[in-house]
A and B are shown apart, each in its own frame.
Chain A
Amino acid sequence: EALLVESGGGFVQPGRSLRLSCAASGFTFGDYAMHWVRQAPGKGLEWVSGISWNSDTKGYADSVKGRFRISRDNAKNSLFLEMNSLRDDDTALYYCAKNGRGTGTYPDYWGQGTLVIVSS
Protein backbone atom coordinates (compact mmCIF):
# COMPACT_ATOMS: atom_id res chain seq x y z
CA GLU A 1 0.00 0.00 0.00
CA ALA A 2 1.20 3.50 -0.84
CA LEU A 3 2.75 5.57 1.93
CA LEU A 4 3.60 9.25 1.64
CA VAL A 5 5.37 11.09 4.46
CA GLU A 6 5.84 14.84 4.25
CA SER A 7 8.47 16.77 6.19
CA GLY A 8 10.13 20.15 6.28
CA GLY A 9 7.28 22.29 7.54
CA GLY A 10 7.69 24.78 10.33
CA PHE A 11 7.55 28.41 11.38
CA VAL A 12 9.10 30.92 8.99
CA GLN A 13 9.10 34.68 8.62
CA PRO A 14 7.57 36.40 5.59
CA GLY A 15 9.97 36.70 2.69
CA ARG A 16 12.02 33.67 3.74
CA SER A 17 12.29 30.24 2.11
CA LEU A 18 11.42 26.68 3.07
CA ARG A 19 11.87 23.32 1.37
CA LEU A 20 9.32 20.57 1.80
CA SER A 21 10.05 16.91 1.16
CA CYS A 22 7.85 13.90 0.61
CA ALA A 23 9.16 10.35 1.02
CA ALA A 24 7.23 7.75 -0.97
CA SER A 25 7.03 4.00 -0.52
CA GLY A 26 4.73 1.10 -1.31
CA PHE A 27 4.46 1.85 -5.04
CA THR A 28 6.74 2.43 -8.03
CA PHE A 29 7.33 6.14 -7.46
CA GLY A 30 8.95 6.77 -10.86
CA ASP A 31 5.81 5.59 -12.67
CA TYR A 32 3.52 8.31 -11.32
CA ALA A 33 3.04 12.04 -11.54
CA MET A 34 2.91 13.73 -8.15
CA HIS A 35 1.15 16.72 -6.62
CA TRP A 36 1.35 19.22 -3.78
CA VAL A 37 -1.98 20.40 -2.37
CA ARG A 38 -2.44 22.79 0.55
CA GLN A 39 -5.17 23.66 2.99
CA ALA A 40 -5.14 26.88 5.00
CA PRO A 41 -6.53 26.61 8.55
CA GLY A 42 -10.31 26.20 8.38
CA LYS A 43 -10.34 26.59 4.60
CA GLY A 44 -10.73 24.40 1.53
CA LEU A 45 -8.24 22.50 -0.58
CA GLU A 46 -6.00 24.31 -3.07
CA TRP A 47 -3.97 22.52 -5.73
CA VAL A 48 -0.45 24.02 -5.58
CA SER A 49 1.78 22.19 -8.03
CA GLY A 50 2.27 18.99 -9.99
CA ILE A 51 5.11 17.20 -11.78
CA SER A 52 5.10 14.44 -14.37
CA TRP A 53 6.78 11.09 -13.76
CA ASN A 54 9.93 12.15 -15.64
CA SER A 55 9.95 15.82 -14.51
CA ASP A 56 9.33 16.99 -18.08
CA THR A 57 6.08 18.73 -17.21
CA LYS A 58 5.51 20.94 -14.19
CA GLY A 59 2.48 23.02 -13.30
CA TYR A 60 1.76 25.67 -10.69
CA ALA A 61 -1.23 27.49 -9.30
CA ASP A 62 -1.25 31.18 -10.15
CA SER A 63 -0.92 31.98 -6.44
CA VAL A 64 2.56 30.39 -6.24
CA LYS A 65 3.87 30.73 -9.79
CA GLY A 66 7.34 32.28 -9.83
CA ARG A 67 7.86 31.67 -6.09
CA PHE A 68 7.56 27.88 -5.67
CA ARG A 69 9.47 25.17 -7.53
CA ILE A 70 8.57 21.48 -7.63
CA SER A 71 11.11 18.73 -8.25
CA ARG A 72 11.58 15.01 -7.72
CA ASP A 73 14.32 12.42 -7.35
CA ASN A 74 13.08 9.09 -8.65
CA ALA A 75 16.21 7.29 -7.45
CA LYS A 76 15.39 8.35 -3.89
CA ASN A 77 11.59 8.05 -4.17
CA SER A 78 11.27 11.68 -3.11
CA LEU A 79 9.24 14.74 -4.05
CA PHE A 80 10.19 18.29 -3.13
CA LEU A 81 8.65 21.75 -3.00
CA GLU A 82 10.97 24.72 -2.73
CA MET A 83 9.03 27.71 -1.45
CA ASN A 84 10.54 31.19 -1.77
CA SER A 85 9.33 34.69 -0.91
CA LEU A 86 6.85 33.20 1.52
CA ARG A 87 3.79 35.27 2.47
CA ASP A 88 1.33 35.11 5.35
CA ASP A 89 -1.28 33.57 3.05
CA ASP A 90 1.03 30.61 2.32
CA THR A 91 0.28 29.39 5.85
CA ALA A 92 -1.31 25.96 5.40
CA LEU A 93 -1.06 22.23 5.80
CA TYR A 94 0.82 20.99 2.73
CA TYR A 95 -0.09 17.56 1.40
CA CYS A 96 1.93 15.42 -0.97
CA ALA A 97 -0.25 13.26 -3.22
CA LYS A 98 0.28 10.54 -5.79
CA ASN A 99 -1.42 10.80 -9.17
CA GLY A 100 -4.09 8.32 -10.08
CA ARG A 101 -3.77 5.54 -12.62
CA GLY A 102 -4.46 6.04 -16.30
CA THR A 103 -4.26 9.22 -18.27
CA GLY A 104 -6.07 11.54 -15.90
CA THR A 105 -4.26 14.16 -13.82
CA TYR A 106 -5.61 13.96 -10.30
CA PRO A 107 -4.39 13.12 -6.79
CA ASP A 108 -5.54 9.70 -5.63
CA TYR A 109 -3.56 8.94 -2.48
CA TRP A 110 -2.44 11.56 0.03
CA GLY A 111 0.04 11.85 2.86
CA GLN A 112 -0.89 13.32 6.25
CA GLY A 113 0.64 16.72 5.51
CA THR A 114 3.26 19.04 6.95
CA LEU A 115 2.30 22.38 8.48
CA VAL A 116 3.84 25.63 7.28
CA ILE A 117 3.26 28.79 9.33
CA VAL A 118 4.40 32.09 7.85
CA SER A 119 4.37 34.88 10.36
CA SER A 120 6.51 37.71 11.66
Chain B
Amino acid sequence: SQKIEQNSEALNIQEGKTATLTCNYTNYSPAYLQWYRQDPGRGPVFLLLIRENEKEKRKERLKVTFDTTLKQSLFHITASQPADSATYLCAPSDTGRRALTFGSGTRLQVQP
Protein backbone atom coordinates (compact mmCIF):
# COMPACT_ATOMS: atom_id res chain seq x y z
CA SER B 1 0.00 0.00 0.00
CA GLN B 2 1.05 3.60 -0.46
CA LYS B 3 2.83 5.19 2.45
CA ILE B 4 4.24 8.63 3.23
CA GLU B 5 6.65 8.88 6.14
CA GLN B 6 7.59 12.06 7.92
CA ASN B 7 9.35 12.18 11.25
CA SER B 8 6.61 12.32 13.85
CA GLU B 9 8.98 13.64 16.48
CA ALA B 10 9.30 17.39 16.70
CA LEU B 11 12.48 18.95 15.36
CA ASN B 12 13.97 21.52 17.72
CA ILE B 13 16.72 23.79 16.43
CA GLN B 14 18.34 27.07 17.34
CA GLU B 15 17.56 30.27 15.49
CA GLY B 16 19.93 30.84 12.61
CA LYS B 17 20.58 27.15 11.97
CA THR B 18 19.37 25.18 8.97
CA ALA B 19 16.36 22.94 9.53
CA THR B 20 16.11 19.80 7.42
CA LEU B 21 12.89 17.81 7.24
CA THR B 22 12.54 14.45 5.53
CA CYS B 23 9.72 12.95 3.49
CA ASN B 24 9.96 9.32 2.40
CA TYR B 25 7.35 7.59 0.29
CA THR B 26 6.65 4.05 -0.90
CA ASN B 27 4.50 2.72 -3.72
CA TYR B 28 4.23 6.14 -5.32
CA SER B 29 5.45 7.23 -8.71
CA PRO B 30 5.10 10.95 -8.16
CA ALA B 31 5.11 13.33 -11.06
CA TYR B 32 5.68 16.04 -8.47
CA LEU B 33 5.81 16.58 -4.74
CA GLN B 34 4.48 19.50 -2.74
CA TRP B 35 5.34 20.94 0.66
CA TYR B 36 2.90 22.77 2.91
CA ARG B 37 3.12 24.65 6.19
CA GLN B 38 0.40 24.38 8.82
CA ASP B 39 0.06 26.60 11.87
CA PRO B 40 -2.15 25.60 14.83
CA GLY B 41 -5.81 26.20 14.17
CA ARG B 42 -5.30 26.97 10.49
CA GLY B 43 -5.36 25.20 7.17
CA PRO B 44 -2.19 24.10 5.39
CA VAL B 45 -0.49 26.71 3.21
CA PHE B 46 1.24 25.76 -0.03
CA LEU B 47 4.98 26.47 -0.05
CA LEU B 48 6.77 24.73 -2.88
CA LEU B 49 6.30 22.20 -5.65
CA ILE B 50 9.11 20.15 -7.21
CA ARG B 51 8.69 18.01 -10.32
CA GLU B 52 10.19 14.60 -10.92
CA ASN B 53 12.68 15.97 -13.43
CA GLU B 54 13.92 18.61 -10.99
CA LYS B 55 16.56 17.72 -8.45
CA GLU B 56 16.32 20.93 -6.45
CA LYS B 57 14.06 23.94 -6.09
CA ARG B 58 14.61 27.12 -4.11
CA LYS B 59 12.39 29.89 -2.85
CA GLU B 60 13.94 32.52 -0.62
CA ARG B 61 15.25 30.64 2.44
CA LEU B 62 13.55 27.40 1.41
CA LYS B 63 15.14 24.60 -0.57
CA VAL B 64 13.58 21.31 -1.60
CA THR B 65 15.32 18.30 -3.11
CA PHE B 66 13.67 15.34 -4.78
CA ASP B 67 15.36 11.98 -5.25
CA THR B 68 13.06 9.59 -7.11
CA THR B 69 15.59 6.77 -6.77
CA LEU B 70 15.70 7.05 -2.99
CA LYS B 71 11.99 7.94 -2.96
CA GLN B 72 12.74 10.87 -0.75
CA SER B 73 12.35 14.62 -0.57
CA LEU B 74 14.27 16.89 1.78
CA PHE B 75 12.99 20.29 2.85
CA HIS B 76 15.51 22.81 4.13
CA ILE B 77 14.98 26.15 5.84
CA THR B 78 18.19 28.14 6.06
CA ALA B 79 18.80 30.86 8.65
CA SER B 80 15.76 29.63 10.54
CA GLN B 81 13.66 32.01 12.62
CA PRO B 82 11.18 31.46 15.45
CA ALA B 83 8.45 32.47 12.97
CA ASP B 84 9.30 29.33 10.98
CA SER B 85 7.93 27.21 13.83
CA ALA B 86 5.05 25.21 12.42
CA THR B 87 4.16 21.75 11.13
CA TYR B 88 5.38 20.95 7.64
CA LEU B 89 3.53 18.47 5.45
CA CYS B 90 4.70 16.77 2.28
CA ALA B 91 2.41 15.45 -0.46
CA PRO B 92 3.67 13.32 -3.36
CA SER B 93 1.33 13.15 -6.30
CA ASP B 94 1.06 10.06 -8.49
CA THR B 95 1.00 10.54 -12.20
CA GLY B 96 -2.60 10.79 -13.32
CA ARG B 97 -4.03 11.11 -9.84
CA ARG B 98 -5.47 14.48 -9.21
CA ALA B 99 -5.95 14.60 -5.45
CA LEU B 100 -3.07 14.90 -3.02
CA THR B 101 -2.39 12.56 -0.15
CA PHE B 102 -0.51 14.19 2.72
CA GLY B 103 2.05 12.92 5.15
CA SER B 104 1.34 13.33 8.84
CA GLY B 105 3.79 16.23 9.07
CA THR B 106 6.81 17.15 11.15
CA ARG B 107 6.58 19.87 13.76
CA LEU B 108 9.47 22.31 13.68
CA GLN B 109 10.28 24.41 16.72
CA VAL B 110 12.91 27.16 16.28
CA GLN B 111 14.28 28.41 19.58
CA PRO B 112 15.34 32.07 19.85
To the question of whether A and B form a pair in one complex, the answer is: no
Task: Report B's interface with A, CB cutoff 8 A.
Answer: none
Interface residues of A (CB under 8 A from B): none
